[in-house]
């Protein structure tokens, strides 16, 4: 058994296992299994192709493993030598580096093809090495699953929202979350003039909460709070501040109180999610809409390296390029929302767009941004241009919905968090060491409300997402939900998501500095 060439299949699992083992409590077992299955399928397809060429399974397997190893390390290698120079000449440019790697692989392939060796011992060694590489991450993932099973009964329940009487008003409700859309001070630092969008929204009847901040500075925490209209303190108490078990957050996202309340009152729930699997689909939804979700993101990410760029350019397809997937998925979801708008209601439409979140696949005019152009620009410029593209999407959504709706709808346009400053987007980053400026950048968000016929709705400059649906339900459905304090919390790190600190005073900004007088 050990001499059978299984090492390419095992090798394909190594990066997937390593990714999930880095934060073993953050991904559901089903999602991990999906990614592992997709990785093995890709490796098996490569092995089948090389077997057809070599007509020798051991040779084909060894060449496949060599290709996979090169594929996995070439990106890091290129990044480390890209700026090396000899007599002022950069020899590691793409046009030299990529052909050199391909020629090297071709040479290895020819040598293997001509070799008369049986390769049994080398195959056995490769199998053992790959098994050994999988043992440490497997232990980490298994431990996390054991902890999750032990803690499952600790999941605290939230009381359902109840309307005091049968609903008379049932407006269509749209909740648009633009991931990492920062607040006005952050956007100004990136060179974005946000006032035109604010004036546009106000001209359309929106209330723009110009001093709004996120309640949590991580997507899964933020949305688990906003869609349940609640803090996450009970989860922290039940699981402990040292837990890295994200299951209770995923459960709250899948069975959130906003969706349950609206479904109970006859609403159709249209859920349009991104690749991000916690919000990709929803169990409560009557209609889930997504694209390019057959192959998990963790596998597609492996295709984005310098060696595969020629294939991506040649194929020109979102099936093999996550940036093109990002572009096509986002633009198609905008169109899908506009197709839903004229459908009879009542309906709740949830759209989670990873814009202006990376990858930066949108230029400032909303067109596709080629990767070579992105690479010539710095991070701040790419983020700013993707914000500008998001602004065009917001205007298209608002104009299209208002034109197509039979009755005035409720629309909430919101960021879940601000952008990650450089150096903070790593799993082990310690948020308790972050500067006030970094925390302000993460906490400031876009937050705008269209509440037709509700001039008395309780809206104010600092309203935060935890209160969004409390205001909506109180205004239209007769509930009497008290508004919660507009607080902002940081977590210690992604490995300690429930170790919360209140940073409200750190991130709070003087409304006078934001010219808020006319917005009151």
Question: How far is the C-alpha of 247 from the C-alpha of 193, rounded, in Å?
Answer: 39
pLDDT in tens, 42-74: 899 999 999 999 999 999 999 999 999 888 888
452 vs 77, which has greater pLDDT? 452
Share of the chain above pLDDT 90, in %: 58
CA distances from 233 to 225, 237, 491 (A): 10, 6, 12
- Residue 118 CA to residue 115 CA, distance in Å, equals 8
- What is the DSSP track for 308-320? THHHHHHH--TTS
Q: What is the DSSP letter of 213?
A: B
Angle, CA 413 vertex, CA 408 and CA 417 arms, to 5°:
165
Above pLDDT 70, what percent of the chain? 94
Look up residue 362 and give its DSSP letter.
B
Tell me if the bond preceding 359 is cis, omega within 30° of 0: yes
Mean pLDDT of 172-194: 94
CA–CA gap between residue 83 and residue 77 (Å, rounded) = 11
Which residue did the predictor score with more confidence, 489 or 317?
489
Residue-wise DSSP of 156-194: ---PPP--SS--S----EEEEEETT-B-HHHHHHTT---
Q: Which of 69-78, 137-146, 221-230 has the lowest mean pLDDT?
A: 69-78
**Nearest in space to 271 (alpha carbons), one of 262, 282, 260:** 282
d(CA 235, CA 218): 15
Taking Cα atoms as reference points, which of 413, 240, 270 lies closest to residue 338?
Answer: 270
Question: Encoding tokens for residue 319?
Answer: 């099936």
441: which 2 tokens? 């950048």
Q: If 0-12 CB within 10 Å is exposed, 13-18 middle and 19+ buried, where does residue 229 land?
A: buried
The CA dihedral of 418, 415, 234, 470, to the nearest 10 degrees, is 150
Predicted pLDDT at 120: 85
Quick one: pLDDT band at residue 150, thresholds 50, 70, 90? Answer: confident
Higher pLDDT, 127 or 426: 127
Q: What is the reported pLDDT for 323?
A: 86
Specify whether the CB–CB gap between 124 and 3 falls below 8 A. Answer: yes
Q: In terms of pLDDT, which residue wins out, 165 or 378?
A: 378
List of domains in the chain: 7-153 (no CATH), 174-207+215-445 (3.40.720)
Helix (H) or strand (E) holding 19: helix 7-22
Task: In whole angstroms, give the CA distance from residue 314 to residue 311.
Answer: 5
- The HSE-up count of residue 193 (CA atoms within 13 Å, CB side) is 4
Under the banding of pLDDT at 50, 70 and 90, the label for residue 276 is confident
Sign of CA dihedral 101, 103, 108, 109: positive
Place of tokens 């060694």: 125
Confidence of residue 159 (pLDDT cuts 50, 70, 90): confident
Q: Mention every residue, 6+ apart, whose C-beta is less than 8 A from residue 181.
A: 355, 356, 387, 390, 414, 415, 418, 445, 446
State how far the Cα of 504 lies from the Cα of 20, in Å rounded to an integer.
32
CB 198 within 8 A of CB 436: no
Question: Which residue's structure tokens are 């925390």?
Answer: 439
In order, the DSSP letters of 290-311 are -SS-SS-HHHHGGG-STTTHHH
Walk across the sheet containing 447-450 and list its strands: 207-208, 447-450, 410-415, 173-178, 347-353, 268-272, 287-289
The mean pLDDT value for 13-27 works out to 84
Torsion of CA 361, 365, 370, 372, to 10 degrees: -100
Indicate whether 515 pLDDT > 50.
Answer: no
| CB burial of residue 291 (10 Å; 0-12, 13-18, 19+) | middle
Instruction: Tell how far CA 408 is from the center of its chain.
Output: 31
Q: How confident is the model at residue 518 (pLDDT cuts 50, 70, 90)?
A: very low
- Range with the poorest average pLDDT among 26-30, 288-292, 334-338: 26-30
């Amino acid at each position: 058994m050990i001499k059978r060439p299984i090492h390419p299949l095992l090798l394909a699992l190594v990066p997937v296992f390593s990714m999930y083992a880095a934060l073993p409590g953050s991904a559901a077992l089903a999602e991990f299994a999906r990614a592992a299955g997709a990785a093995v399928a890709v490796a098996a397809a490569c092995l089948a192709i090389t077997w057809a060429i070599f007509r020798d399974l051991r040779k084909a397997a060894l060449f496949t493993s060599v290709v996979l190893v090169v594929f996995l390390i070439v990106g890091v290698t290129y990044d480390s030598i890209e700026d090396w120079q000899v007599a002022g000449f950069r020899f590691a440019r793409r046009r030299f580096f990529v052909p050199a790697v391909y020629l090297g692989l071709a040479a290895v392939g020819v040598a293997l093809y001509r070799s008369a060796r049986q390769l049994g011992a080398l195959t056995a060694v490769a199998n053992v090495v790959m098994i050994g590489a999988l043992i440490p991450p497997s232990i980490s993932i298994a431990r996390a699953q054991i902890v999750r099973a032990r803690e499952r009964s600790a999941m605290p329940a939230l009381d359902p929202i109840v309307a005091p009487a049968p609903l008379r008003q049932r407006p269509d409700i749209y909740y648009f979350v633009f991931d990492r859309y920062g607040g006005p001070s952050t956007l100004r630092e990136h060179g974005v003039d946000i006032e035109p969008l604010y004036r546009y929204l106000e001209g359309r009847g929106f209330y723009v909460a110009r001093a709004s901040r996120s309640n949590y500075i991580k997507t899964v925490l933020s949305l688990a709070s906003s869609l349940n209209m609640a803090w996450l303190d009970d989860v922290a108490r039940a699981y402990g501040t040292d837990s890295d078990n994200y299951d209770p957050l995923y459960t709250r996202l899948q069975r959130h109180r906003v969706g349950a309340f609206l479904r109970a009152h006859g609403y159709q729930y249209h859920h349009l999610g991104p690749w991000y699997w916690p919000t990709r689909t929803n169990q409560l939804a009557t209609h889930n809409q997504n694209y390019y979700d057959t192959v998990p993101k963790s596998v597609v990410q492996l295709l984005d390296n310098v060696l595969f760029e020629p294939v991506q350019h040649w194929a020109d397809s979102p099936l093999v390029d996550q940036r093109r997937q990002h572009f096509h998925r986002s633009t198609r979801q905008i169109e899908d929302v506009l197709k839903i708008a004229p459908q009879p209601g009542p309906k709740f439409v949830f759209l989670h767009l990873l814009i202006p979140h990376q990858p930066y696949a949108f230029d400032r005019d909303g067109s596709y941004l080629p990767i070579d152009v992105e690479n010539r620009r710095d991070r701040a410029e790419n983020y700013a241009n993707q914000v500008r593209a998001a602004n065009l999407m917001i205007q298209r959504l608002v104009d299209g919905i208002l034109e197509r709706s039979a009755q005035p709808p409720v629309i909430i346009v919101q960021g879940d968090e601000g952008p990650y400053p450089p150096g903070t987007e790593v799993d082990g980053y310690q948020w308790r060491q972050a500067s006030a400026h970094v925390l302000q950048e993460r906490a400031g968000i876009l937050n705008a409300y269209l509440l037709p016929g509700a001039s008395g709705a309780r809206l104010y400059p600092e309203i935060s997402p935890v209160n969004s649906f409390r205001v909506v339900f109180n205004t239209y459905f007769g509930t009497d939900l008290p508004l919660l304090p507009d607080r902002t919390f940081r977590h210690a790190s992604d490995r300690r998501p429930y170790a919360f600190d209140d940073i409200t005073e750190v991130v709070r900004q003087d409304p006078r500095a934001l010219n808020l007088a006319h917005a009151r």
